[in-house]
Amino acid sequence: MELIKVISNPVRMQVMQYLQTHGEATTKQISEAIADVPAPTLYRHINTLLKEEVLLVKEERKVRGSLERLLAINAKKMAETVNNSISETAYQFLMELYMKFQEYSNKKDANPQKDRLSLRTCVLTLTDDSFDSFMQEIGAVMEKYRKAEENGKLRSISLISAPIQEEGK
């Protein structure tokens, strides 16, 4: 299965975001954090991520007769995949977003203002260390609001970081 198809699933994206924020976690911790997804569904998606080697098992331990796995993102696999096909990966990611916007705009009751549809770009000038801190803070903010709210609406937030080619350089 193509990696972009594996990780573009909304549930798998939540798992990946959780692990990006926390570094490592057990399946139980992930399930507690993503409580709006039924545990069997979440476990199926985690198993897909493991099968496709997007996640790896850092440690296994026996807890009350069952095997508990400590999971983390397979950074090497992710880096290899991105480095080998960055333009294709970006294209597929953007096309997934485009298709979601297209589906939304085709709905008879689409109301961008009411639904808080937002497209934003902001150019920042940051050192690598500052950028890493910025991304950790963004992850913490996303984690803060990840919990389902009563009467809340599902909202998708995508973040893309890309270098800017300055003229004459």
Question: Domains of the chain, with CATH numbers?
Answer: 3-76 (1.10.10.10)
20-67 pLDDT tens trace: 878 899 999 999 988 888 999 999 999 999 999 999 999 988 888 888
Q: How far is CA 16 from the centre of its chain?
A: 5
Res 57: pLDDT: 94
Res 118: pLDDT: 86
User: Which stretch of 39-53, 131-145, 148-162 has the lowest confidence by average pLDDT?
Assistant: 148-162
Res 55: pLDDT: 94
- The amino acid at residue 72 is A
Res 158: pLDDT: 82
The phi and psi torsions of 90 (rounded to 5 degrees) equal -65, -45
Better-scored residue on pLDDT, 42 or 7: 42
